[in-house]
Amino acid sequence: MSGKFGGSFERFMRLTADFKGIKYVPIEYKTEGPTRSVSIPQVMDFNVEGFIQPIQTEPVNVENMGTWRIGPVTVARGTQSTYVDHGMNWDNTGKVGYYRRFERP
């Protein structure tokens, strides 16, 4: 996972100036209606809620993002977006966010 032996992580490590290490921790992911959340206990808590226009019933989607790697995404707002680890402390609560369907190959 460090990229020392090649593979996709090696390409990622070329973009990383200050590698902080690897931790193996439980990750909890939830989908409930237009809300998505992911959390790692005592590290991060990200929750977004899809933006629904007043006259609509479904969240706003953005398509044709200009790259095949990004399919349609749903526009969302961070209702809880915090991260605290490796000496960093972020709080992006209330800011724009996106989510999309996740599929494993």
pLDDT digit string (tens) for 12-36?
777 777 777 778 899 999 999 999 9
Question: Which residue in 31, 92, 34 sits closest to 60, CA to CA?
Answer: 34
CA distance 37 to 48: 6
pTM for this predicted structure: 0.70
Which amino acid is located at 37 in the chain?
S
Each domain of the chain, given as residue ranges in start order, spans: 26-99
Higher-scoring residue by pLDDT: 66, 43 = 43
pLDDT in the model for residue 50: 93
